[in-house]
């Protein structure tokens, strides 16, 4: 006998539409494999009259998402609007307060409100599914909660933003400037019309915070994490890195130490010989370093309607069959302990530095002197003329600490011959 599951869906964009189409397409599978009959008893979106890629007249439309949730027969609310405030926030809180299960892809909301939502879900004895919030088609949430349950995780390194990864790939392969690659990403649907959160590293920050909480069972203060993105990188940086044997990737990294968690979101140089350097276009990749030097690598589509909708439906199946981990983060809200946060690597690293400077006598000597004064030695250095007055100086340092790089970069940027603020990136050894 089939078990009836009544759901409502808020948000009918790319992911919401793909979710409805997937549910329509796989009714037979849900029935025969899971014994479930999924009934969509309400839909909501901001624009009722926008054309959608499904027959919306088949479903009951609500102009008020709260009234949609308050239907007595609703089991699960699926929120696919996105954003940490406004309607999405109201929907998620009201769903849990109404004792409805919640499924969401809203990483921004989870990063800001996740702990409160977890507490509310426990109080009302309902579940939250959020597989779709991180890395789209990669089942990283369930992997951490189930496959690594009871296994100590030391470090997570991830390419977690498909938009940035596509842009960096396109800049290299098609030799495009940043803005040209961004426009192409927007045309292909890989980037939003307002893509700042993808480009400045904030989206990656939201995702790595979620993963850190699950991996380390710690409560992490979002406001204490610094981040940087790719918006200031140029085609020159891509090609100079390539010349040195590297690829540039925007990474989110978290690692557990004795008294703190180190979380870093920034573009890194990675050797062309390493796995992560060959993850291109809109793909995401995550490396999990666990005890006994065990390394697990997961690669897949990080965004888009099809992979994300699969994650949404997977959550729905698990929750409906009571197979989902009881607690949002794998343990109770009360067991999540606060921990100090560091934004820097404790170990020494190589650094890539590119400075655009005016052609002045003694400029190169001055740069090398600055680095020498901060005990930074140079592994390789070359310069490339841009025009008669300006040239790029590119160098790769030997391993040094960030405590030396930071003051050295300030000193360098204050030099009268420096035209633009120098680009500085770490080399990641994975």
* Strands lying side by side in the sheet with 36-44: 36-44, 3-10, 76-79, 101-104, 128-129
Q: What CA–CA distance (Å, rounded) separates 207 from 340?
A: 19
Specify the residue for token string 């919306």. 56
Active site residues: 207
3-state SS string over the chain? Answer: CCEEEEEEEECCCHHHHHHHHHHHHCHHHHHHHHCEEEEEEEEECCCCCCCCCCCHHHCCECCCHHHHHCCCCCCEEEECCCCCCHHHHHHHHHHHHCCCEEEECCHHHHHHHHHHHHHHHHHCCCCEECHHHCCCCCCHHHHHHHHCCCCCEEEEEEECCHHHHHHHHHHHHCCCCHHHHHHHHHHCCCCCCCCHHHHCCHHHHHHHHHHHHHHHCEECCHHHCCCCCCCCCCHHHHHHHHHCCEEEEEEEEEEECCCEEEEEEEEEEEECCCHHHHCCCCEEEEEEEEHHHEEEEEEEECCCHHHHHHHHHHHHHHHHCCCCCCCCCCCCHHHCEECEEECCCCCCECEEEEEEEECCCCHHHHHHHHHHHCCCCEEEEEEEECCCCEEEEEEEECCECHHHHHHHHHHHHCCCCECCCCEEEEEECC
């Amino acid at each position: 006998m089939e078990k009836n599951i009544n759901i409502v869906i808020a948000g009918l964009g790319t992911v919401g539409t793909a979710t409805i189409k997937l549910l329509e397409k796989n009714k037979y599978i849900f029935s025969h494999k899971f014994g479930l009959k999924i009934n969509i008893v309400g839909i909501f979106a901001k624009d009722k009259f926008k054309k959608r890629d499904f027959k919306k007249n088949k479903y009951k439309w609500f102009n008020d998402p709260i009234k949609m949730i308050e239907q007595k027969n609703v089991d699960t609310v699926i929120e696919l609007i996105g954003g940490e405030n406004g309607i999405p926030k109201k929907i998620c809180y009201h769903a849990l307060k109404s004792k409805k299960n919640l499924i969401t892809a809203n990483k921004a909301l989870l990063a800001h409100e996740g702990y409160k939502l977890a507490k509310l879900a426990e109080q009302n004895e309902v579940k939250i599914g959020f597989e779709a919030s991180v890395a789209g088609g990669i089942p990283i949430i369930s992997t951490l909660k189930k496959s690594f349950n009871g296994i100590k995780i030391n470090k997570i390194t991830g390419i977690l933003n498909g938009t940035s990864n596509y842009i960096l790939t396109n800049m290299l392969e098609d030799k495009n400037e940043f803005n040209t690659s961004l426009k192409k990403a927007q045309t292909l649907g890989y980037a939003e019309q307002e893509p700042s959160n993808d480009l400045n590293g904030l989206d990656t920050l939201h995702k790595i915070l979620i993963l850190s909480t699950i991996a380390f069972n710690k409560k992490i203060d979002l406001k204490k994490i610094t981040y940087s993105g790719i918006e200031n990188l140029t085609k020159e940086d891509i090609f100079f890195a390539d010349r040195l044997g590297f690829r540039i990737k925007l990474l989110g990294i978290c690692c557990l130490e004795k008294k703190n968690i180190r979380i870093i979101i920034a573009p890194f140089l990675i050797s062309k010989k390493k796995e992560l350097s060959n993850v291109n276009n809109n793909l995401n990749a995550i490396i999990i370093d666990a005890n006994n030097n065990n390394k697990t690598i997961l690669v897949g589509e990080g965004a888009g309607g099809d992979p994300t909708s699969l994650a949404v439906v997977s959550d729905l199946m698990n929750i409906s069959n009571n197979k989902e981990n009881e607690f949002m983060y794998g343990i109770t809200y009360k067991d999540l302990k606060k921990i100090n946060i560091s934004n820097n690597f404790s170990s020494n690293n190589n650094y890539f530095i590119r400075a655009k400077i005016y052609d002045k006598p003694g400029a190169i000597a001055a740069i090398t002197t600055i680095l020498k004064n901060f005990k930074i030695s140079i592994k390789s250095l070359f310069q490339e003329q841009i025009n008669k007055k300006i040239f790029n100086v590119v160098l790769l340092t030997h391993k040094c600490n960030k405590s030396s790089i930071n003051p050295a970069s300030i000193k360098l940027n204050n030099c009268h011959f420096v035209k633009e603020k120098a680009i500085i990136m770490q080399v990641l050894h994975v």
